[in-house]
Structure 1
Amino acid sequence: MVSARPAVQSLPAYRPGRNPADLAREIGVERAVKLASNEVAFPPLPAVVEAIAAAAGETHRYPDNGAVVLTGALARRYGVDPAQVVTGCGAVMLCQQVAQSFTDPGTAMAFAWRSFEMYPLLARVAGARAVQVPLVPGRPGGSADTHDLGALAAAVDDDTRVVFVCNPNNPTGTAVRRAPLERFLDAVPADTLVVLDEAYREFVTDPDVPDGLELMRGRPNVAVLRTFSKAWGLAGLRVGYLVAEDPAVADAVRRTHVPFSVSTLAQAAAVAALASEEEVRRRVAAVTAERERLAAELRGRGLEVSDSQANFVWLPVGEQAADLAAALESRAVITRPFAGEGIRVTVGTPEEDDVFLDALDRVRPAATVG
């Protein structure tokens, strides 16, 4: 009998957000609202649709394996050399490439927990030890929702090859600020790679939350990871990118790239999105304004809500998470529960969020939240 590696056999399945059409059919309603996957509610940018249509005639050819046009556009945008930029099939694929490029069996990969759920899975697949450093309350008396950078730095030892800092953090939405992050970066040994995972960077409104690309400058062991899936609205096309201060780091990540994994359509769409930055900024401003309204509505209902810097809010409802999410689904609202910890709710349109709030009001007594 052929058997997979034990590390693979024991991997839990990744749980994507549920399809709203499936839920609507299941419970017999016309429409369900999905607030589970941190997608933006806006349709694709007009320039993106045009670019995809124009590129469709080339899909009988392989994509540009080096994504030269996209890489050049990103390099110009951030004032770096193209050799410092790596594109990939979504940010999560680049996380996997980092794990493959810098960890060996028996080495360690460190990160806060709870954070992006793929980190421990990728460590396990690479054979690395996953060092999970617990979150701490971001404010007195609050739930654990924020990176403990001091503890994370202390957890780095001679075996640690990679540290991920998810900023803003997924799923809690909190972000670490400039001074503590600079102290952390200065404390990490020069032979340990720090990846600042900034998938939600565009939604940051706190001026004291630094742009990781600024902190990367002059630090050869720092790289920044970003995506087109969130603010740029390309979740269905899968495009991410990594920018490294040291071109050798980028080269190592590039070597584990799956050939042709960023499609022709994805590359064309990402370039067109970058050229539509002003429209993206307007959309992001609408999302962050709605985020503040949604947070205020939830706080007004007596729920604890951290100051999110992402396009979602976190409800630390503990053991009630699974039951509350199930109750909301019975009202045709899909959220993302983390059993025993909380629920992540994507910021939707005002109408979608009102549907969520109404459903929450109806099911909350039954779920005994708060």
Structure 2
Amino acid sequence: MTSSENAAGGIRPRPVVDRLPRYAAGKPPAVVEGLTSYKLSSNENPLPPIPAVLQAIAAQTDFNRYPDPLSTRLRTALAEFLDVPAEDVVAGAGSLGALNQLLATFAGQNDDGKADEVIYAWRSFEAYPICVGLAGAESVRIPLTADGRHDLEAMAAAVTARTKVILLCTPNNPTGPILATRETESFIKSVPADVVVVIDEAYQEFVRAEDAVDGIAMYRKYPNVVVLRTFSKAHGLAGLRVGYSVSNPELTQHLRVAATPFSVSQIAEKAAVTSLQHYDQVVERVQSLVDERQRVTAGLKELGWFVPDAQGNFVWLNLGENSSEFAALAGEHALSVRAFGEEGVRVSIGEPEANTRFLELCANYTKPPRRS
């Protein structure tokens, strides 16, 4: 071994890195002879972007130039689309990039060496503990209720003087239920006004529950609310990494300091703006997926399976210790699904044939999910 290899072997990351979970992206499906393989493991939109977006992407040529660091065209389009000031929008590389900017701004390690606290439900988006830890803050995880919902009362009770940010994921990934307007507003009122409440709405376009909270409405009423949204899901632009946050100027002025320069490429910005301009077509595609979601959930319930209220583009199977077994069985049928340890399995809504094969698999599986 050379001296340089010895030196490299002695390099250690920050201690927090060894304590963080590893993000596990959904795996591609296995190749099974005689079957078309389908990926149902990453909550991706199985449909491509609308035609106008594909044309806009093909026409983009200015990749020798840096993108606009403020994503002005995107923020202007979103301002009109959401009826909010453009100054209240901060773009990011997906809603995950926007989340990292939020945490870098409002939660971390303080000058006295003490870490801020970030509260969120668990299980929820698996990137949360990674993002919080890398920001230098401490995670406070509050268990979900038996039906996969946020326990807002317990989350409010967990607030301390060190709490700086609370993450609300609605619909919750991976379990599926939404937060209702009344309970969310009551929760926001119950926490200190200097705690940032983040409403993460990555799947907002798929929601059909009439009492679902609208993050934008909450941002209009409460200065400490920040909304996260993305073009990855409904718009089918996951590979281009474009999302954003919406917050009041008191917060946005600080977010801009921490925002990653050039995080949204010009091709991503062009695609997102074009998709907004043809939003009626996006709505049609989303509805086709919602229809498939309803077919899948109805089919599961006919089998007697418990499924939490699915309001995203996925369903949750609380299979416990049978999760890995079920995921392996799905793989044998050329379907990739996302198992979460011994907690459960998340299955994205995919192409109709994929959804039908999934239901057939469930009909022959003898260990249905439990309620708690």
For normalisation by structure 1, the TM-score amounts to 0.93
Specify the alignment match of 2:79 in structure 1.
Answer: 75
- Residues 38-97 of structure 1: CA distance to partner in whole angstroms, max 9, x if unpaired? 111212211111111222x11111111111000111111112211110000011111111
- What residue identity is the alignment partner of 2:254? A
Q: C-alpha displacement at 1:19, in angstroms?
A: 2.1
Specify the alignment match of 1:159 in structure 2.
Answer: 162
- Residues 243-262 of structure 1: CA distance to partner in whole angstroms, max 9, x if unpaired? 00x21312322222222121
The partner residue of 1:290 within 289, 292, 300 is 292
The alignment partner of 2:130 has SS state of helix
Distance 1:67 1:329 in 2: 41
The alignment partner of 1:137 has SS state of coil
The partner residue of 2:242 within 239, 243, 260 is 239
- What residue identity is the alignment partner of 1:13? R
The partner residue of 1:341 within 323, 340, 343 is 343
Specify the alignment match of 1:307 in structure 2.
Answer: 309
Distance 2:368 2:143 in 1: 26
Is the CA contact (8 Å cut-off) linking 1:99 and 1:123 kept in structure 2? yes
Q: C-alpha displacement at 1:12, in angstroms?
A: 2.6
Unmatched 5+ stretches in structure 1: 139-144
Specify the alignment match of 2:4 in structure 1.
Answer: none
- What residue identity is the alignment partner of 1:346? S
The alignment partner of 1:224 has SS state of strand
Choose 302-311 or 158-167, whichever is displaced more.
302-311
Distance 1:151 1:59 in 2: 49
Count of residues in Structure 1 that have an aligned counterpart in Structure 2: 356
Is the CA contact (8 Å cut-off) linking 2:21 and 2:129 kept in structure 1? no
The alignment partner of 2:238 has SS state of coil
Specify the alignment match of 1:18 in structure 2.
Answer: 27
Is the CA contact (8 Å cut-off) linking 2:317 and 2:369 kept in structure 1? no
Q: Percent of pairs identical after alignment?
A: 43
- The answer on 1:198 being equivalent to 2:207 is no
Runs of 4+ off more than 4 Å: 27-30, 367-370
- What residue identity is the alignment partner of 1:199? A
The alignment partner of 1:230 has SS state of coil
Q: C-alpha displacement at 1:28, in angstroms?
A: 4.7
Call closer, same or farther: CA 1:19–1:29 in 2, change over 3 Å.
farther
The partner residue of 1:86 within 77, 84, 90 is 90
- What residue identity is the alignment partner of 2:13? A
Specify the alignment match of 1:58 in structure 2.
Answer: 62
Q: C-alpha displacement at 1:369, in angstroms?
A: 5.9
Query: What is the 5 A alignment of 1:239-278?
Result: 239-244=242-247, 246-278=248-280
- Residues 212-231 of structure 1: CA distance to partner in whole angstroms, max 9, x if unpaired? 10121131100100000000
- What residue identity is the alignment partner of 1:340? E
- What residue identity is the alignment partner of 2:205? E
The partner residue of 2:222 within 219, 222, 234 is 219
The alignment partner of 1:306 has SS state of coil
Distance 1:252 1:337 in 2: 38
Q: C-alpha displacement at 1:360, in angstroms?
A: 3.2
- The answer on 1:42 being equivalent to 2:47 is yes
- The answer on 1:169 being equivalent to 2:178 is no
Distance 1:10 1:182 in 2: 34
Q: C-alpha displacement at 1:276, in angstroms?
A: 1.1
- What residue identity is the alignment partner of 2:82? Y
Q: C-alpha displacement at 1:128, in angstroms?
A: 1.0
- Residues 110-151 of structure 1: CA distance to partner in whole angstroms, max 9, x if unpaired? 00111111111111112211000111134xxxxxx0011111
- Residues 271-304 of structure 1: CA distance to partner in whole angstroms, max 9, x if unpaired? 0010111011111111111111100111112211
Distance 2:18 2:108 in 1: 19
The alignment partner of 1:136 has SS state of coil
Q: C-alpha displacement at 1:368, in angstroms?
A: 7.1
The alignment partner of 1:110 has SS state of strand
Q: C-alpha displacement at 1:99, in angstroms?
A: 1.1
Q: C-alpha displacement at 1:30, in angstroms?
A: 5.4
The alignment partner of 2:239 has SS state of coil
